[in-house]
């Protein structure tokens, strides 16, 4: 590892991959973007050109042998996470792995074991822990501002329709994983406890193309949960809602409530003589809403490598979220409460 900077390679040149890559290329002190990794030649070459770097690799194994690379950022489909993380750890590379961490508990444990034995950092991409609003809310909860937490409710509703590969739950684990992993982690974070029971209900309301081949796919889900410390939780998730990117949270306490998140993208309202209704632009994408949080997350990754401190969201956090995803999917299929 170079003393003055951490060499980064990003696996995945899609939307989230480019957010991380741009941060490490231009905005994160102590980091330098070395390479982009993507199996699609056009994608990796276009990314390298946009980011003004020279190195590209078709796969992560080639990058693992590159001595200029100290850490790998994994922004690949969930089913590929375990293999990439374990290979990176074996090569002595630190890892920032996007959520969901993996497909099941066994894969998560293997990743935790591999990075632990290699002595490298494993950070999971729960960037809401780095969002200014969520961080202020956590400080307020910890200070006792609303008394003891009674219930945490969190929703994430995405405007875009699911991508076809998501229809196969054996590859994606469904919206509970792809959309609601952040909500699951939020509930764990604010309650300071682990899920005890999960009851989930899912349905397909907006994805007719999935019905014939993937009858178990759901694009809308609600979850009711209890926690080991007696607190309560609720989650709702959706894909293809169209109206906006809607991520909000409420923390209800014995003495008050904290509200986090907003639909309004700008702080102005447009009113005209043609209408007596005010209108304002809505948040169109998670890239708009959480752009500062992604940057803070990437800075946090470099900081924990240099300082040796534990990441804000570690392998155990990723593992627990995956356990809840699997329990929720089981609850949907078996139509019953599942105990964890």
Give the pLDDT confidence of 134-143 residue by residue, as tens digits: 999 999 999 9
* Tokens (6 digits) for 156: 């994430």
CATH fold, domain 129-290+320-339, is: Dihydrodipicolinate Reductase; domain 2 (3.30.360)
pLDDT greater than 70 at residue 194: yes
Is the model's pLDDT at 1 over the cut of 70?
no
- Name the pTM for this structure: 0.94
Burial (Cβ within 10 Å: 0-12, 13-18, ≥19) of residue 262: middle
- Given a contact cutoff of 8 angstroms between Cβ atoms, the answer to whether 85 and 95 are in contact is yes
Q: Could you say which DSSP state residue 24 is in?
A: I
**DSSP 8-state code for residue 162:** P
pLDDT tens string 216-267: 999 999 999 999 999 999 999 999 999 999 999 999 999 999 999 988 776 5
Please compute the mean of the pLDDT values over residues 282-300 and round it to a whole number. Answer: 91
Whether the predicted pLDDT of 275 surpasses 80: no
List, as own/partner pairs, every contact residues 260-269 make where C-beta atoms lie below 8 angstroms and the sequence separation is at least 24, other chains included: 260/133, 260/134, 260/137, 261/133, 261/289
- pLDDT attached to residue 278: 59
Kindly tell me if the per-residue pLDDT of 272 is higher than 90: no
* Overall average pLDDT of the 13-23 stretch: 97
User: Pick from 288, 286, 301: which is nearest to 10 by CA?
Assistant: 301
Dmax of the chain from CA atoms? 67
Percent of the chain predicted with pLDDT > 90: 90
Instruction: Provide the pLDDT for residue 319.
Output: 98
- Quick check: helix, strand or coil at residue 105? helix
Q: Do domains 6-120 and 129-290+320-339 have the same CATH topology?
A: no
Average pLDDT, the chain: 94
Superfamily of domain 6-120: NAD(P)-binding Rossmann-like Domain (3.40.50.720)
The arithmetic mean of pLDDT across residues 143-151, rounded, is: 97
Closest by CA position to 60, among listed 51, 50, 69: 69
Ordered by start, the domain boundaries in the chain are: 6-120, 129-290+320-339
- The tens digit of pLDDT for each residue in 47-87 reads 999 999 999 999 999 999 999 999 999 999 999 999 999 99
Which residues, including other chains, have CB under 8 Å from residue 25's CB and lie 6 or more apart? 32, 33, 51, 52, 53
């Amino acid at each position: 590892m170079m003393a003055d900077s951490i060499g980064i390679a990003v696996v995945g040149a899609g939307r989230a991959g480019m957010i991380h890559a741009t941060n490490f290329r231009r905005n994160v002190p102590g980091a330098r973007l070395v390479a982009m990794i993507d199996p699609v030649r056009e994608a990796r070459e276009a990314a390298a050109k946009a980011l003004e770097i020279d190195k590209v690799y078709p796969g992560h194994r080639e990058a693992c042998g590159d001595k200029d690379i100290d850490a790998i950022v994994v922004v690949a489909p969930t089913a590929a996470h375990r293999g990439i993380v374990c290979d990176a750890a074996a090569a002595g590379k630190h890892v920032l792995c996007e959520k969901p961490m993996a497909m099941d508990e066994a894969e998560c444990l293997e990743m935790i074991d591999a990075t632990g034995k290699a002595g490298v950092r494993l950070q999971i991409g729960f960037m809401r822990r780095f969002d200014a609003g969520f961080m202020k809310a956590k400080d307020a909860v910890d200070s006792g501002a609303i008394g003891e937490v009674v219930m945490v409710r969190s929703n994430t509703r995405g405007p875009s329709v699911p991508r076809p590969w998501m229809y196969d739950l054996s590859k994606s684990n469904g919206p509970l994983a792809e959309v609601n992993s952040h909500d699951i982690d939020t509930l764990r974070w604010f309650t300071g406890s682990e899920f005890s029971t999960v009851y989930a209900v899912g349905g397909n309301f907006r994805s007719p193309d999935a019905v014939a081949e993937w009858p178990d796919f759901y694009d809308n889900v609600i979850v009711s949960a209890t926690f080991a410390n007696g607190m309560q939780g609720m989650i709702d998730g959706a894909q293809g809602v169209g109206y906006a990117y809607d991520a909000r949270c409420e923390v209800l306490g014995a003495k008050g409530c904290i509200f986090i998140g907003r639909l309004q993208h700008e702080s102005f309202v447009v009113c005209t003589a043609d209408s007596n209704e005010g209108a304002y632009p809505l948040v169109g994408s998670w890239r708009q809403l959480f752009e500062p949080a992604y940057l803070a997350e990437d800075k946090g990754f470099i900081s924990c490598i240099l300082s040796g401190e534990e990441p804000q969201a570690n392998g155990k956090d990723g593992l627990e979220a995956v356990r809840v995803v699997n329990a929720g999917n089981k609850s949907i299929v078996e139509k019953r409460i599942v105990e964890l």
